[in-house]
Amino acid sequence: MRFGVNYTPSAGWFHSWLEFDADAARRDLDGIASLGVDHVRVFPLWGVVQPNRGLIRRAALDDIGALIDVAGEFGLDVNVDAIQGHLSSFDFLPAWLATWHRRNMFTDPEAIDGELHYVRALAELLASRPNVLGLTLGNELNQFAAAPHPDPHPVSAGDAHAWLARLTAAARESAPGLVTHSMYDAGWYDDTQPFGPEHAAAHGDATVVHSWVFNGAAQRYGALAPGSVRHAEYLSLLAAAWNEDAARPVWLQEVGAPTNVVPVADAPEFLEATVRHAASVARMWGITWWCSHDVSRELADFPELEYDLGLFDNDRRIKPTGRRFAELVRELRTAPPAAPAPIALLLDDTAEGYRASCAPGGEFFEAWLRAAEAEGRGPQILLASRAADEASLAARGITRVLADCAELPR
The band of 408, judged by pLDDT with boundaries at 50, 70 and 90, is low
Domain spans in the chain, listed from the N-terminal domain onward:
2-332, 343-407
Q: Which residues contact 209 (CB under 8 A, 6 or more apart)?
A: 232, 235, 236, 239, 250, 251, 252, 253, 254
Q: What is the pLDDT of residues 344-356, one digit of tens each?
A: 999 999 999 999 9
The pLDDT, as a whole number, for residue 309 is 97
In angstroms, the CA 360 to CA 369 distance is 10
To the nearest 10°, the Cα dihedral for 243, 212, 288, 270? -120
Q: What is the pLDDT of residues 313-334, one digit of tens each?
A: 999 999 999 999 999 999 999 9
* 60 in Cβ contact with 19 (< 8 Å): no
CA neighbours closer than 13 Å in the CB half-sphere of residue 322: 22
In angstroms, the CA 213 to CA 352 distance is 25
In angstroms, the CA 161 to CA 157 distance is 6
Q: What is the pLDDT of residues 256-308, one digit of tens each?
A: 999 999 999 999 999 999 999 999 999 999 999 999 999 999 999 999 999 99
The pLDDT, as a whole number, for residue 267 is 98
Q: What is the pLDDT of residues 172-194, one digit of tens each?
A: 999 999 999 999 999 999 999 99
pTM for the whole structure:
0.97
In angstroms, the CA 239 to CA 231 distance is 12
Q: Check whether 405 has a pLDDT greater than 70.
A: no
Average pLDDT, the chain: 96
Across 163-178, average pLDDT: 97
Match domain 2-332 to its CATH number in 3.40.50.300, 2.40.50.100, 3.40.50.10490, 3.20.20.80.
3.20.20.80
In angstroms, the CA 232 to CA 252 distance is 8
In angstroms, the CA 304 to CA 300 distance is 10
Q: Check whether 210 has a pLDDT greater than 70.
A: yes
Across 128-156, average pLDDT: 97
The band of 88, judged by pLDDT with boundaries at 50, 70 and 90, is very high
* 353 in Cβ contact with 359 (< 8 Å): no
The pLDDT, as a whole number, for residue 178 is 97
The pLDDT, as a whole number, for residue 147 is 95
The band of 403, judged by pLDDT with boundaries at 50, 70 and 90, is confident
User: CB count, 10 Å around CB of 406?
Assistant: 8
